[in-house]
Amino acid sequence: MLLALLACLAVPAAAKAPAQPVQLDQELYRTVVERVREGENFYPAAIDAQRERTYPVQPALAVRPPTMTYGLALLPSTATRTAALFALLFGALIALRQSLADRSPAEALSMVTLAVAGLFGAFFPDNVYLHEQWSVLLIMLSLAAHRRAWLMVGLALLAVLVRETALAWLAAIVVYSLWQRDWKRAGLAAGAIALAGGVWLLHAQFVAAQIQPGDLTSPGWVRFGGLPLVIDALRRNLVLTGLPGPLVLALVAASLAAMLRWGREMERIAAIGSAGFLAALTVFGRPDNGYWGFMAAPFVLLGLPLIVRELRAKR
């Protein structure tokens, strides 16, 4: 069921019509932010901008949710928006480090460094306009807040409202909480999923109200890209960028297994969410959707320091 939900929620907002020249999604999203800042309503502005670039506008999931756009429209320029992204990035890393206060300094530093390697996309020009960059930082804050159920679930819900594929980690909170018989947190997370679904239905109605005859429809996104798309997505972690595909898969598989075997609550939830997200990528996504991997890149190698710790303990 999770894979089916991710299939619906993983529709690329910027899938191009086949005969059109390559365009940058960031340019589209920046245009929409500027139009909203100038006073336009999000839905007419977003759909008009997609029409102008011959981007599909239906089904409703071809239009990204307005959460990030409204937030960025409060700030006057790309420079201030980038500064806000960097502030959130460093805040998330500080929160991650504080959540690792009970680990050895070397292990904590290694985990934070591996997380940073998965966040390098935030430093590319105009990536402040990619929803993945904001959503993944909210996921990191959510994981760092795992000792406070309401805060963890609230931040994960906000991540989903920014980028729908964050649903994998909200679902992971449900799965782990049920495993641990933490009924309160499981209920909170399940309620957050239901709320996100309701918000999406409202989003779909607003989009449908703007559709005109002749508007482009997104082609199917069930492509069964398999492991090649997964490998491409995983290379959004700088450590994995230049490695051969089999080694990428081996390192990530070992890391996720270590997180589940020797990790604590934060690592286990991160592993469950990452594994679900990567499994979905074997079915859903076009060959040019590897950038979706930014959503999982900071988390997939957090188990490597745990492997090192266990190997040292056996000496």
What pLDDT does 285 receive?
86
The total number of structural domains that make up the chain: 1
Span 155-202, pLDDT tens digits: 999 999 999 999 999 999 999 999 999 999 999 999 999 999 999 999
Residues 256-276 have pLDDT tens digits of: 999 999 999 999 999 999 999
Q: Residue 41 is which amino acid?
A: N
Question: 292 lies in which domain range?
Answer: 2-313
The one-letter amino acid code at 198 reads: G
Closest-CA residue to 160 (of 174, 176, 147, 148)? 174
Q: What is the pLDDT of residues 177-186, one digit of tens each?
A: 999 999 999 9
% of the chain with per-residue pLDDT over 70: 92
The beta-strand segments (E) located in the chain are: none
The reported pLDDT for the residue numbered 220 is: 66
CA–CA separation, 301 and 256 (whole Å): 7
CA–CA gap between residue 255 and residue 224 (Å, rounded): 24
Phi, psi values for residue 108, rounded to 5°: -65, -45
Query: What digits encode the pLDDT tens for the residues 9-63?
Result: 333 344 443 344 445 899 999 999 999 999 999 999 999 999 999 999 988 888 9
Asked if 141 and 156 touch (Cβ cutoff 8 Å), the reply is no
pLDDT confidence bin for 94, thresholds 50/70/90: very high
- The residue with greater pLDDT, 61 or 248, is 248
pLDDT of res. 192? 98
Q: pLDDT tens for residues 217-237?
A: 988 667 788 899 999 999 999
Q: Number of helices (H) and strands (E) in the chain: give both, helices first.
A: 14, 0
